[in-house]
Amino acid sequence: MTKEETLIRGILDPVGSDVRPLVCAVQITGRLLFEERLLLIGRQIKDIRAPRDMLFYLAYYCRFNMPYYEVLKQNPQLLFGEDGLQKEDA
């Protein structure tokens, strides 16, 4: 089981439906953010307004093992695309 699947199952279990599409979406979001360095330039998610916003939260949590806003407090450069994207807290 991947890190993403473990996190999502920990949040949603017991769930009778398939979580693989959500796991795949979180993995793709993480890859875009942290490997391909898609920047959020100045965009902060204030609240989860749409399901897609949750993907950012989950991708950050899987990568850093801490909530999105805590990661940004400790590493504000992540929002603006500096070299902090290489950091992993495993």
Asked if residue 14 belongs to a domain, the reply is: yes
Tens of pLDDT, residue by residue over 51-90, are 777 787 888 888 888 888 888 888 877 766 555 444 444 4
Asked if residue 12 belongs to a domain, the reply is: yes
Give the per-residue SS3 of 39-82: CCCCCCCCCCCCHHHHHHHHHHHHHHCCCHHHHHHHCHHHHHCC
Task: Please tell me the total count of domains within the chain.
Answer: 1
Give the orientation angle of helix 3-12 with respect to helix 51-64, to 10 degrees: 120
* Residue 46 neighbours by CB distance under 10 Å: 7
Tens of pLDDT, residue by residue over 16-30, are 788 888 889 889 888
**How much is the pLDDT for 52?**
74
Residue with tokens 């950050």: 60
Asked if residue 79 belongs to a domain, the reply is: yes
Asked if residue 58 belongs to a domain, the reply is: yes
Asked if residue 90 belongs to a domain, the reply is: no
Statement: the pTM of the whole predicted model exceeds 0.75: no
Determine the structural domain holding residue 54 and report its residue range.
Answer: 3-85
Distances (CA, A) of 1 to 20, 61, 74: 11, 16, 29
